[in-house]
Amino acid sequence: MTHNPIELLVLKKKSVKPSFQSFEYLDKFVTQTQNKHLTEAQKGTKASESLVVLAESDEASNFIIDKTVADVLAKYGDVLMDLHITDQKTYSKQVPMNQLYMKARIQITENDEQ
């Protein structure tokens, strides 16, 4: 069984340029997409702190980041550094063929209120 390749990255808008420098292959696969669910969920968020989705297409972005996922990302986006879903062997040569790899990086802070 074959599958369509996938490359999706959710990160803060200010981190887009550095991510293209970190992952040399990224610009061959993705572009910043218009995710209607995330845009709606982030109303009122400062532009520099808003999350964006890099993916192959708007269709792929909106399929994976649906309303439920977008609501969670908007709620906890202030601690999310990035969320990367890929079938590339970016992080490990041991990822089996046709398997996806997801990596999430969060910023842990000391806050008495949380």
Task: Give residue 88's pLDDT band: very low, low, confident or very high (50, 70, 90).
Answer: confident
Cα dihedral across residues 95, 97, 18, 71: positive or negative: negative
pLDDT value, residue 72: 96
This prediction has a pTM of 0.81
Tell me, what DSSP letter sits at residue 49?
A: G
Residue that has been written with the tokens 């709620």 in this structure: 75
**Residue 54 pLDDT exceeds 90:** yes
Task: Give residue 79's pLDDT band: very low, low, confident or very high (50, 70, 90).
Answer: very high
